[in-house]
Amino acid sequence: MTAIETVDLRRVYETHSREPNVVALNGLSLSVEDGMVQGLLGPNGAGKATLVKILSTVLLPTSGHASVLGYDVVRQKHEVRPRIGIVFGGDRGLYWRLTGRENLEYWAALYHVPQAETKRRVDSPLERVGLTERADYRVETYSRGMKQRLHLARGLIADARMLFLDEPTTGMNPVAAHEFRDLILELRSQGRTILLTTHDMAEAEALCDAVAFIDRGQVIATETPRSFGALLRGLEAVEFEGARPETLEALQLLPAVSAVSAVSDQTHRVEVHDTAGVEAVLRLLVDHRVTSLRTARPTLEDLYLQLLGGR
């Protein structure tokens, strides 16, 4: 079954001034199968959050069609809402005068969780996100990471089949982010469908069955993690300092090297085709007694340039 489907989805924000209207989604079409973890990767302003808000019935599209679990998000929003869990994240979106537990109890009521089940449905997510000890403290005392975890717990309250997670690990420390990944994998094993937006490529690669790359309101590519990983590895680079002219010449001659450029007065960057190329470059640099060197992970910008260049 198709859990999420969008066809030519457009969302335009009118500015009501001389400034041009903002086109957040520009004919976005996407299909997500039931039981998948679908990643949405893209820079800020690409349209990821807008898409999530339309699918979660917070926002109305300007044109096009979107459905969640077979229900139209505009005409059948009342069917969509009980079936989804939403995690927007951020510093707000919580009642700061209530405790973490009280927040969840309230949302449990709003999501029609029976009274008899509330305690279990509140305690379990709290434990899962590691907030049990702080559950009875007011949210105003929480750190950024704790608030993010509480957002996640809130999204799990409804025990929904479909989860929308909008940059869920923002503000989390590395340990919490790692635990979050375990949680997502656990949820996937339970057969839930998850739409996850992120600009963390490692997170997308680790968690998603498929990753859609979004730029300027459109999907520019959809990759599996395997092909995604290959793309990333093809964009690896080595940066080093203290290069002599003969070193640079030798690097240019290596077949695996695609480009050598100066990043600053002291630093040069060597881009390679694949992992074997990294080995060859490192060996050459060591032979030339270059000791200050590091491998550089591709940035999101690198990835996009690659994808856009490929189009």
Burial, 41: exposed, middle or buried (Cβ in 10 Å; 0-12, 13-18, 19+)? buried
Looking up tokens 């590395």 gives: 174
Q: Which 57-86 positions form the footprint of other proteins (CB under 8 A)?
A: 57-60, 78, 81-82, 84, 86
Q: Is 304 in the site for other proteins (CB under 8 A)?
A: no
Between the CA of residue 214 and those of 131, 201, 217, 219, what are the distances in Å?
A: 33, 13, 6, 4
- Do 236 and 272 touch, CB atoms closer than 8 A? yes
How far apart are the two ends of the chain, measured CA to CA in Å? 30
Of 44 and 264, CB closest to other proteins:
44
- The residue among 154, 152, 158 whose CA lies nearest residue 82 is 158
State the nearest-atom distance from the C-beta of 289 to other proteins, in Å: 49
Tokens of 288: 């030339």
* Contact status: 112 vs other proteins (CB under 8 A): yes
Task: Report in angstroms how near the CB of residue 136 gets to other proteins at its nearest.
Answer: 12
Asked if 13 is part of the footprint of other proteins (rule: CB under 8 A), the reply reads: yes
Of these, 140, 182, 186, 279, which contacts other proteins (CB under 8 A)? 140
**Least CB distance to other proteins at residue 214 (A):** 17
Q: Which is nearer to other proteins, 94 or 257 (CB)?
A: 94
For the bound state, the minimum distance from the C-beta of residue 35 to other proteins, rounded and expressed in Å, comes to 23
d(CA 274, CA 305): 17
CB of 53 to other proteins, least distance (A): 7
Structure-token match 């260049």, residue found: 309
Of residues 18-47, those binding other proteins (CB under 8 A): 24
Q: Which two tokens stand for residue 248?
A: 């640079």
166 binds other proteins (CB under 8 A): no
- Part of the chain binding other proteins (CB under 8 A), chosen from 49-57, 171-179, 191-199, 255-263: 49-57
Q: Please work out the total of residues on this chain that contact other proteins, with binding judged by CB under 8 A.
A: 39
**CA distances (Å), 306 to each of 200, 224, 302, in order?**
17, 16, 6
**One of 5, 9, 11, 284 touching other proteins (CB under 8 A):** 11
Angle at 120 between CA 114 and CA 125, to 5 degrees: 115
**Which 3 state secondary structure label does DSSP give 171?**
coil
Q: Is 138 in the site for other proteins (CB under 8 A)?
A: yes
E strand or H helix that includes residue 307: helix 300-310
- Which stretch in 96-104, 208-216, 267-275, 293-301 sits in contact with other proteins by CB under 8 A? 96-104
Interface of this chain with other proteins, residues 198 to 217, rule: CB under 8 A: none
Residues lying near other proteins in the complex (CB under 8 A) are found at 11, 13-14, 24, 50, 53, 56-60, 78, 81-82, 84, 86, 88, 90, 92-98, 102, 105-115, 138, 140
